[in-house]
Structure 1
Amino acid sequence: ASNYSKAVLLKKARLIQQYLRDGLDVFVYFNNDANGNAVRNARLLKRMLAAMKVTAPA
């Protein structure tokens, strides 16, 4: 089962923030497992990005 730590997801959130600032398109995929970690990880990453005020450009 794969479950990303908060530290790893925070690094990813910072990368996403930079990519968006650079005008790049960003797509995030999590491979779900029997424990449902993908859903938890995606929700946590979404909350991290919101807290950082990261939004996709219009």
Structure 2
Amino acid sequence: MGFMPFNGEAGKISSGTECKMEFKCLYENIGEVKNIINSIHPYEEPVINIMPLLG
């Protein structure tokens, strides 16, 4: 079973608006933040980059 596109038709190119969101959290909360992002993301798999901040 394949994924249906969020916007448009399967097998056809479509375009839309994207936005970048940033979150700051403690390292031990990364799993929880990823779960929240995945639960509200409208389709397939979101791109998540984790970058440690040096303090």
Tell me the TM-score normalised to structure 1 length: 0.30
Larger radius of gyration: 2
Relative contact order higher in (CA < 8 Å, ≥ 6 apart) = 1
Q: TM-score, normalised by structure 2?
A: 0.31
